Amino acid sequence: MSRKYGWYGNRMDSYENNILEFRSQLDGEGLTAHDLRALRGFSPDGVVILGMGGSGMAGMLFEATASSLGVRVPVMVVENAALPPLFFKHPLFISVSFSGVTPETIATTRAALRIKRGRLAIVTTGGPLRRLGETKKLPRVTFEAGDLTPRGSHAYMYYAILEIVKKVLPIRVPTISRSFSPSGLRAQGKEHAKKLRGAPALVYVSSPDAHLGYAWKRNLNETGKIPAFTHHYPELYHEEIAGFEKTKVHWNAIWIVNLRLGEEEKKKIKRTQSILQSHGVKSFFVPLRGNNALEEMWNSDVLSHWVSYYLAKAEGLDPKAIPIITKLKSLKK
């Protein structure tokens, strides 16, 4: 198939092309570092990621993988317009905003600037946030927005965060194998999309993989244009399943399963699926695949993009557009 043409024979749209080109984000192509020397000699006792939406998701992915990268200080993500109480003496703030215009992120960035015992770095493509970084010579990593979306550039922002963190903390980044192939996940994504049509989605993951469930939820919402919710096991066995006792709504449940799970946990998932099936919840498995935790994460993320893309296409919707969110942002107080 020509790279210019999509699955349906029409000229390939930008969202589809960006999924196919996802590998380039993992190689750090297109990232540009500025003034990182300003971090020289700084030793943080905590990392605080400031970000909303898809940009905040990059922070959540970093928070979830920090331990496996060898980060030995606490990491927290702030998805709000105000900083919470902080207990770090020397925090490294990393402000992440794809557009550079997100009001909540700009507000927390300005608050972070006032904390003199910390350091502030920026990840963005432009807007007031980029200008702030340039004016104040703040450490920053930038890239061109092109026709990307925030949710479609998780990896760019994730690796931009790593570029900043590795200037002040020792980290080890696992290699992503050359066999990693977004195009190889396309057919699986299309099949899963067929299973999810016509009903809200539940994304169930193990507790350590909760960040993957949230990435799926966001892509299903924004790209697939369906209601989607996520929870993690074993916690969901103790409350969520009770809510289906008298449900009148049909649900589809995606179980993202780490192949390293113990046999007893796998059996419990199957028992839970059987019970939910009797209450109108259809389930299917999505195994996590990859040579390491980072590769599993990116395989899962790309697959969620394909599933969401084909859900939108099946309904004749633009996978890139977010009209309801755009309308909300345009409303005046």
- Is residue 237 pLDDT above 60, yes or no? yes
pLDDT (0 to 100) of residue 211? 96
Same domain? For 131 and 190 the reply is no
Starting at the edge strand found earlier in the chain, the sheet holding 251-258 runs 228-233, 201-206, 251-258, 281-288
In a domain, 174, yes or no: no
In a domain, 329, yes or no: no
Same domain? For 307 and 207 the reply is yes
Same domain? For 148 and 203 the reply is no
Count of the separate structural domains present in the chain? 2
CB 150 within 8 A of CB 55: yes
Residues 140-163 have pLDDT tens digits of 999 999 999 999 999 999 999 999
- Is residue 5 pLDDT above 70, yes or no? no
Same domain? For 235 and 306 the reply is yes
Residues 72-85 have pLDDT tens digits of 999 999 999 999 99
CA quadruple 195, 258, 218, 20: dihedral sign: negative
Q: Cα–Cα–Cα angle for 124, 128, 132, nearest 5°?
A: 85
In a domain, 8, yes or no: no
Same domain? For 128 and 248 the reply is no
Here the CATH number for the domain that contains residue 273 is 3.40.50.10490
In a domain, 6, yes or no: no
Query: What's the start-to-end Cα distance of the chain, in Å?
Result: 49
Range of the domain at 117: 31-165
In a domain, 246, yes or no: yes
Same domain? For 191 and 240 the reply is yes
